[in-house]
């Protein structure tokens, strides 16, 4: 991975830093930039409560990756700012300004990671409020604070229902459709980031992970992200007497793949891209797997771990049991049967090293570790 090229110390304003991805980013970033400081916007009743939430999340994230040295020192350079990305009153902007006064005029970078990740149709308004209005507000805040760059954590699934090769730079405008309001909101938020950049000159990067799983060394994770919700649902199905001893044939096009990426790989690629200098500004990057997994192989190998036997059919749902399974997994179905591949040309051009091979066997310990903890 490339080392820091930003020429020295900076302040960074982060959102979502007590969440799954953000909490794994903050202290490695501060350890990589030993003279820098972070302000982390955290929702809470007051500053002490925000501070407690942040510290707890950073310690949990450190434990999830077996962090041994430097964690407390890095946490000491992370300051919690109590606030909400959708807060139009923006009292927290003044708190950030006051914090900046102690920074000797060093540049301010922004990483906007906060989002509402719900796929439930009933959460549409809340998803749009956080993901679209919140991003608009963060862009405005970045400009008002004189930030030098805006890094936006999006998702590879802004591709919506596009299939085939998905390029990082947007070609052909908006996809014909989206699987849910979350994808659509992230697409619209990306458009806001680009529009703001064009209008104000604010440099930006768009960072698009696929489906994030636990840490590649410990397999642990501190939040139940999308992939694990699928495993959890399969565990619940595997406990139902009617699934016992039955082969459940699910309709899946052959060639479907599953794009999973360990959280520490996402963080390492984010850090390298953010430190790769001006050539990475103005671009989007797929933080996706170099080796997407064949879905049929994953289900073959891993569904027995949940007490299920799942097979593939090219036909529609063949019986009531398959219908039940599909109903339970309906929110995740768009991510399970992908006939697409995320291109990583921009990632390569930035000099990011190829990832180690990630095959079905490499996935197995993530699932067994999760099931062990869930039991």
Ligand X SMILES: NC(=O)c1ccc[n+]([C@@H]2O[C@H](COP(=O)([O-])OP(=O)(O)OC[C@H]3O[C@@H](n4cnc5c(N)ncnc54)[C@H](OP(=O)(O)O)[C@@H]3O)[C@@H](O)[C@H]2O)c1
* Sole window of 26-34, 111-119, 198-206, 361-369 interacting with ligand X (rule: CB under 6 A): 111-119
Tokens 């490499």 belong to residue: 362
CB of 24 to ligand X, least distance (A): 8
CB of 93 to ligand X, least distance (A): 14
Tokens 């999973």 belong to residue: 260
Contact indicator for 70, 31 with CB cutoff of 8 Å: yes
β-partners of residue 352 are none
Q: Which of residues 8-27 bind ligand X (CB under 6 A)?
A: 15-16, 18-22
CB of 17 to ligand X, least distance (A): 6
Instruction: From residue 119, give the alpha-carbon distance in Å to each of 31, 297, 357.
Output: 34, 26, 30
CB of 126 to ligand X, least distance (A): 9
Q: Which two tokens stand for residue 14?
A: 């982060």
Q: Which of residues 185-204 bind ligand X (CB under 6 A)?
A: 186
β-partners of residue 150 are 110, 204
Q: Which helix (H) or strand (E) holds 162?
A: none
Name which position in 12, 81, 100, 134 contacts ligand X (CB under 6 A): 134
Closer residue to ligand X, CB minimum distance, 155 or 243: 155
Residues 6+ apart with CB under 8 A from 4: 32, 33, 275
* Sole window of 218-226, 232-240, 276-284, 303-311 interacting with ligand X (rule: CB under 6 A): 218-226
* Sole window of 26-34, 80-88, 246-254, 358-366 interacting with ligand X (rule: CB under 6 A): 80-88
Closer residue to ligand X, CB minimum distance, 32 or 43: 43
Contact indicator for 145, 92 with CB cutoff of 8 Å: no
Instruction: From residue 229, give the alpha-carbon distance in Å to each of 4, 5, 362.
Output: 36, 38, 19
Taking the C-alpha atoms of residue 372 and residue 375, their distance in angstroms, rounded to an integer, is 5
Residue window 148-177: x/- pattern of binding to ligand X, with contact defined by CB under 6 A: -----x-x----------------------
β-partners of residue 67 are none
> Is 130 one of the binding residues for ligand X (CB under 6 A)?
yes
> Is 229 one of the binding residues for ligand X (CB under 6 A)?
no
Q: Which helix (H) or strand (E) holds 322?
A: helix 320-328
Name which position in 49, 75, 90, 117 contacts ligand X (CB under 6 A): 117
> Is 225 one of the binding residues for ligand X (CB under 6 A)?
yes
Tokens 């929702």 belong to residue: 43
Residues in contact with ligand X by the rule CB under 6 A: 15-16, 18-22, 41, 43, 84-86, 113-117, 130, 134, 153, 155, 186, 209, 211-212, 223, 225-226
């Amino acid at each position: 991975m490339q080392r820091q090229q930003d020429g020295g110390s900076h302040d960074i304003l982060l959102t979502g830093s007590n969440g799954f991805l953000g909490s794994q980013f903050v202290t490695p970033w501060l350890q990589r930039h030993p003279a820098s400081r972070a302000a982390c916007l955290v929702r809470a009743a007051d500053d002490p409560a925000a501070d407690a939430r942040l510290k707890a999340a950073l310690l949990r994230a450190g434990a999830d990756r077996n962090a041994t040295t430097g964690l407390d020192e890095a946490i000491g350079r992370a300051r919690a700012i109590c606030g909400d990305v959708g807060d139009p009153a923006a009292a927290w902007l003044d708190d950030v300004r006051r914090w900046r006064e102690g920074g000797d005029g060093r540049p301010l970078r922004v990483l906007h990671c906060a989002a509402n990740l719900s796929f439930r149709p009933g959460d549409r308004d809340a998803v749009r409020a956080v993901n679209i209005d919140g991003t608009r507000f963060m862009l405005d805040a970045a400009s008002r604070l004189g930030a030098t760059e805006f890094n936006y954590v999006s998702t590879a699934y802004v591709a919506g229902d596009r299939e085939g090769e998905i390029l990082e730079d947007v070609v052909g405008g908006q996809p014909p459709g989206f699987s849910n309001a979350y994808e659509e909101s992230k697409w619209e938020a990306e458009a806001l980031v680009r529009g703001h950049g064009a209008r104000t000159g604010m440099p930006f990067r768009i960072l698009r992970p696929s489906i994030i799983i636990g840490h590649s060394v410990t397999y642990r994770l501190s939040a139940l992200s999308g992939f694990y919700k699928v495993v959890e649902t399969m565990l619940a199905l595997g406990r139902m007497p009617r699934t016992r001893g039955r082969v459940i044939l699910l309709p899946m096009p052959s060639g479907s793949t599953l794009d999973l990426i360990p959280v520490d790989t996402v963080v390492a690629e984010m850090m390298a891209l953010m430190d790769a200098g001006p050539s990475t500004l103005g671009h989007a990057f797929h933080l996706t797997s170099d080796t997407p997994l064949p879905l049929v192989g994953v289900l073959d190998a891993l569904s027995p771990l949940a007490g299920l036997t799942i097979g593939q059919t090219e036909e529609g749902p063949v019986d009531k049991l398959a219908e039940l399974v599909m109903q339970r997994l309906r929110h995740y179905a768009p991510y399970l049967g992908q006939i697409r591949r995320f291109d990583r040309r921009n990632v390569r051009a930035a000099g990011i090293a190829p990832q180690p091979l990630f095959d079905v066997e490499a996935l197995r310990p993530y699932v067994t570790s999760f099931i062990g903890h869930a039991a």
